Chains A and B, each alone.
Chain A
Amino acid sequence: MIKQNITEYNNVWVFIEHNKGKVELVSLQLLSKAKEIARDLHCDVCAFTVGDNVKPLENEVAEYGAKKFYIIENSALKDYRTEPWRDSISHLISKNKPAVVLIGATALGRDLAGTVATVLKAGLTADTTALDIDPETKNLLMTRPTFGGNLMATIFCPDNRPQMSTVRPGVFEAIKNPSKMEIIKDKFSITEDEIVKKIIEKVQTGEDKLNLGFYDIIVAGGKGMGKKENFKLLENLANVLGGTWAVSRQAVQMGWAHHTRQVGQTGQTVHPKIYIAAGISGAIQHLAGMKSSDIIVAINTDDQAPIFEIATYGIVGDALKVLPKLTKTFKGKLKI
């Protein structure tokens, strides 16, 4: 392992993930959390990103408290591709030596972080759900679930900098905290010809969001939904609640929904504020993907279904009958 002088490394850096000229919510959440960390470390929060035209993001970034915004603009960096982004970002980081680098644990963020950390030979902790500073050593303590949420591990990185972590979306709150921000433009020379990976096609479905983790309310359905057409009932309730809908593995296997909506061991791990499980019996693989939700509401005809073991509230009944009633009740109350 390369011995570093870790005192040279300073400041907390947050990667600004952006899509169609807008900052992704997770990056703002991380800016807010970074503020706390920076306070403990007596340093500044800095934001950084690359792209073809990222300067317009500055207003949003400044609003959430970054002191500096490091950017590289190059037309070859327009769409995310691992290799050019990896190299340009590695360049920024190794040049400016931040002590902490936080990246949202989105599909993009996790793809990027793994490669950047390897270039930098830095320690990287995946998908953390809690960040603290050790009051004595000032090391960053990164806590993350493993074994599908059955075990928590606190990871630290004592002798290497930067301390890198991807952080789960939705764990921290994005709090506005405007500050005067300096933009620092850097250069990274790369041309399209030098990039071997070509994007042939991009389908932004919008509808089929890959990252269910963005939502604080999820209405999920399983085998008990009976048929594909009934999934509209999930969507209706999700719309009323301003959340999204998801499915169990069985529903995917039945061909009722796409894998991108699957919650569980082999799908996505979610932890919304409210998770409504309709017609889901609660196989251990499914529970692994959602049991850290704040509140779980279970609807199932079988009062012995394992889902009731972890549900905050349980309703024994046919999801197909209960869901429309719930939608109606909530619609009336929420006045939407």
Chain B
Amino acid sequence: MHSLVFIKQVPDAAQVRINYETGTLIREGVPSIINPFDAHAIEAAVQLKDKYGGNVSVISMGPPMAKEILKKALAMGADKVFLLSDMVFAGADTLATSYALWAGAKKVAEEVGSIDIYWTGKQAIDGDTAQTGPGIATRFNIPLVTYAVEIKEVDKQNKKIKVSRLIDGGMETVEVPLPCLITTEETINTLRYAPLPYLIKAAKTSVVLLNSGNTEIDAEQCGLKNSPTKVKKAFTPPKREKGEMLEGNDEKTLNALYDKLEPILKQCGKL
């Protein structure tokens, strides 16, 4: 049971501030973290490894600095980590990203053995697109299971897996043959506090660097130039003004609140 987890380096949202004058994010001094949903994907893969054996590899695409989060992945129990870092990848949209990660994943499989489960978080907290996972699955032409909340059953013999996933208005359990790609919700597991030996192993293991030179990646499908979508402009939404404090919580206040909300309730067809 070999796993490969796709992770993304994101700025710690809790520490990102906005410069309202320039309409940009202040990223200076903001630490980078593993996208929280991706961390749960790593944990899910490590838990399966603990139960069924095999190895867990992790790959990320990003600047050389992204090595740091891959080190963290090692400390969470990953065996091998890979960083796809090359200027030709820069500025990629989700289509170009899924291409590069797919090509990188094929290279990883050459090194660690054929992959049974590909994992990633349901979406990244910076871009919020939830498109890269589905994109990679499509490129591999393997079953896609998004929004996974529980690994129900692994049939190692017949190479099948049962997964519960969230759907609009409920939940469903699906069975798919391996290999497949699973995107994880935060609730799929609880992150463990990694044991010390993992950390020591992580400190001893180095990140394998992949680029357009040592992989079979077609530069004509990578980066900003080959991304169908482009950013026309970025701006900050108007800052929310501090509103009105209503004094007391007696009937008068609540009636006043009602009067203020009435036009909106009307608009929503509640009246």
Contact = CB atoms under 8 A, between A and B. Distances in A.
Contacts of A202: 167, 170-173
Contact of B260 (A152, A259, A313): A313
Given A115-B137, A124-B229, A326-B254, A204 B169 contact: yes
A284 B169 contact: no
Contacts of B128: 126-127, 145-146, 148, 269
B265 to A, nearest CB: 7
Q: Indicate the size class of the contact surface on chain B.
A: 35 or more
A93 interface: no
A117 B135 contact: yes
B196 to A, nearest CB: 26
Contact of B168 (A107, A121, A312, A326): A107
B172 A152 contact: no
Contacts of B82: none
B170 A208 contact: yes
A205 B169 contact: yes
B243 interface: yes
Given A110-B130, A113-B131, A126-B131, A153 B234 contact: yes
A106 interface: yes
Interface stretch (B57-65, B141-149, B199-207): B141-149
Interface string B90-101: 000111001000
Nearest to A123: B228
B13 A288 contact: yes
Interface string B127-142: 1111111110111000
Contact of B268 (A127, A217, A260, A325): A217
Q: Indicate the size class of the contact surface on chain A.
A: 35 or more
B270 A334 contact: yes
B32 to A, nearest CB: 14
Interface in B11-70: 11, 13-14, 16, 18, 24-25, 36-37
A151 B25 contact: yes
A146 B169 contact: no
A197 B227 CA distance: 31
Interface in A69-110: 80-83, 86, 106-108, 110
Interface stretch (B1-9, B72-80, B105-113, B174-182): B174-182
Main secondary structure of the interface of B (DSSP, over half): mixed
Contacts of B235: 151-152, 154
B208 interface: no
A154 B232 contact: yes
B130 A204 contact: no
A235 interface: no
Interface string A300-336: 0001000011111111110001100110011001100
Interface stretch (A30-38, A155-163, A224-232): A155-163
B171 A1 contact: no
Interface string A189-219: 0000000111111111110111100001100
A114 B267 CA distance: 34
A328 to B, nearest CB: 8
Closest 10 CB pairs of A and B: A114-B134, A123-B228, A126-B129, A160-B228, A317-B249, A118-B138, A123-B229, A114-B131, A312-B243, A204-B170
30 contacts: A1-B221, A83-B144, A107-B146, A108-B167, A111-B144, A114-B138, A118-B134, A118-B138, A126-B129, A145-B237, A150-B25, A155-B231, A157-B229, A159-B228, A197-B174, A199-B173, A206-B169, A217-B268, A241-B265, A274-B264, A274-B265, A288-B13, A313-B244, A315-B253, A316-B245, A317-B248, A322-B249, A325-B254, A333-B262, A334-B265
Interface of A: 1, 19, 24, 80-83, 86, 106-108, 110-111, 113-115, 117-119, 121-127, 141, 145-160, 196-206, 208-211, 216-217, 241-242, 259-260, 265-266, 269, 273-274, 284-285, 288, 291-292, 294-297, 299, 303, 308-317, 321-322, 325-326, 329-330, 333-334
Interface of B: 11, 13-14, 16, 18, 24-25, 36-37, 93-95, 98, 125-135, 137-139, 143-147, 149, 162, 166-177, 185-187, 220-221, 225-237, 240, 242-246, 248-249, 251, 253-255, 257-258, 260-262, 264-265, 267-268, 270-271
Given A124-B229, A151-B235, A197-B145, 18 more contacts: A19-B168, A114-B135, A123-B228, A124-B95, A146-B128, A147-B25, A154-B231, A154-B233, A156-B232, A159-B228, A198-B176, A200-B172, A217-B268, A259-B149, A297-B261, A311-B242, A326-B254, A334-B270
